[in-house]
Every structure is written in C-alpha cells, then in structure tokens.
C-alpha cells in the first residue's frame, strides 16, 4: 500500500473521473471501511506508480479524460483498515466483486490488472549477492545496487536491468516458502485469487520505499475473467504459478545467468 500523505494526496488519487474506490463496510463499525481498493482507469497496462499517485502531466499519455476511453482498470492500492482483522483476507472477495461491477459499469474494459509492489525482493537480491555459488560476474554486477543513485547512471542502470528482471521472474515463479507456495506474499495473494503474473516493470516505483523493498520493481497481475477459476484451482491444488510467456522467458534467462551463461 502506498501511504496517503494528506487530504490533497487523497483527492489527487480519487477525485477524478478516471478513478474509482471500492470498499467493504460492516454495520458494527459504521462508516469506517474494513478494506478498500483504489482503481485507476487507463489506456493500456500501467507500468509506473508515481504518475498515477501524483496525477502529473506524463500520466495523461495513458490516463484518460472520459471513462469511456479506458480499456484497463488498474488496481494500484489495497489496504486492510482494521488492525484487529489483519490476517483475514477480505481482499480476494473485494477484487473479484470489483471486477464484476466494473465489467457491468464499463463493458468496454478489456483488462483488469494490478500495479503491485514486490516486498522482500531487495532482501532476496542481497542474499544472491552473498551467494558464492553464483558466478562472480553476476554478484559483481548486483553490487551496483549499493551505489547511490544507480538508476540515474544509464550504463549501470541498463546493466542491472538485464539481470534484475530475470532474477525477479525467478524469485516470483520459482522461489517457494516452507509450504511450497511462492515466497512473495503479494504473489501468494493475487495468484491465489486466480490472477496471472503478467509483467515485471523496471523502475515501476522510484520512491525510497520502492528501492528499499524491491530495487524499484513493480509487477502487473492480470485478472482474466475466463481464467480466474482455473488459475485458482491449479494454484490451490498444485501451487502452479500462472504467468505470461514474457515472465516465463525471463525465468529461463535467470537460470542461464545462474550458470554463468550469456543471455540476450
């Protein structure tokens, strides 16, 4: 969740024709929601969070003035509001209901997708830097992350992009916890809902928090109405990670990197 700074920040996120907010309420709590999700209507799948949060002019390239012009509903923030209910997953029910309601309100929408953080990925990358079983060239390249402002140094940024995106695919698709489920908690949430791991976005979140938790990466999880039930069942029965060909190819590239092979 991207912290809301003040009322102006809240208005920038929600007080526009291309924004929606959905929430679950309970009569015992009154007007305070149990959980809410923020949605941006968009042309194409969004890859960066800062333009969406700030409403800056660059967002207008893919943002829309009229909701009827949108082809994508992007879920960019979801938050449980009640500390006593943490651990109870209302989010899966809410997202599925939002998909249904937006499909009815705006039947021309083609894509229902998240722009999600990847918490824990930076820590996992640190472990790879320290893993002496990996090629020294790979570990040396990863040390570039320790250089302040590395993303503003174009040659270094391109070098890191070529290895970190494949490693992110490996992390999200292949790294599992002791229960045999994806190591990443956000991945477990959306894959368990029946979404597909669709795209890994380089420098999707260039905030201090974005670099600290995920080296600036963000991920699109795609909800395809006809595939949700099948993906959910495969994940529940076999912990299958539904993913796009692009992500699958990146994971293959990571295996080559781990062997010291060059990739294209």
* Residue in 42, 116, 141, 232 annotated catalytic: 116
Instruction: Assess whether 2 carries a catalytic annotation.
Output: no
Instruction: Assess whether 232 carries a catalytic annotation.
Output: no
* Residue in 42, 151, 190, 232 annotated catalytic: 190
CB 176 within 8 A of CB 182: yes
The residues that are catalytic are 116, 190
């Amino acid at each position: 969740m991207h912290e809301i700074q003040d009322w102006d920040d809240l208005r920038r996120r929600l007080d526009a024709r291309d924004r929606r907010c959905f929430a679950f309420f309970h009569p015992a709590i009154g007007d305070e929601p149990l959980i809410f999700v923020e949605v941006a209507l968009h042309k194409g799948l969004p890859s960066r969070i800062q333009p969406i949060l700030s409403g800056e002019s660059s967002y207008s390239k893919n943002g829309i003035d009229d909701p009827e012009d949108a082809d994508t509903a992007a879920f960019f923030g979801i938050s449980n509001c009640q500390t006593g209910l943490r651990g109870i997953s209302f989010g899966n029910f809410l997202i599925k209901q939002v998909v249904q309601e937006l499909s009815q309100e705006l039947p021309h929408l083609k894509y229902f997708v998240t722009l999600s953080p990847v918490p824990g990925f930076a820590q996992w990358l640190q472990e790879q830097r320290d893993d002496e079983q990996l090629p020294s060239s790979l570990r040396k390249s990863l040390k570039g992350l320790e250089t302040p402002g590395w993303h503003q140094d174009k040659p270094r940024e391109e070098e890191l992009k070529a290895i970190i995106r494949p490693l992110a695919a490996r992390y999200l698709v292949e790294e599992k916890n002791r229960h045999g489920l994806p190591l990443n908690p956000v991945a477990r949430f959306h894959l368990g809902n029946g979404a597909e791991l669709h795209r890994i976005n380089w420098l999707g979140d260039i905030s201090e928090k974005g670099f600290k938790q995920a080296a600036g990466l963000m991920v699109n999880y795609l909800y395809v109405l006809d595939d949700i039930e099948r993906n959910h069942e495969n994940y529940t029965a076999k912990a299958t990670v539904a993913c796009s060909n692009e992500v699958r190819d990146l994971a293959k590239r990571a295996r080559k990197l781990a062997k010291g092979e060059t990739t294209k």
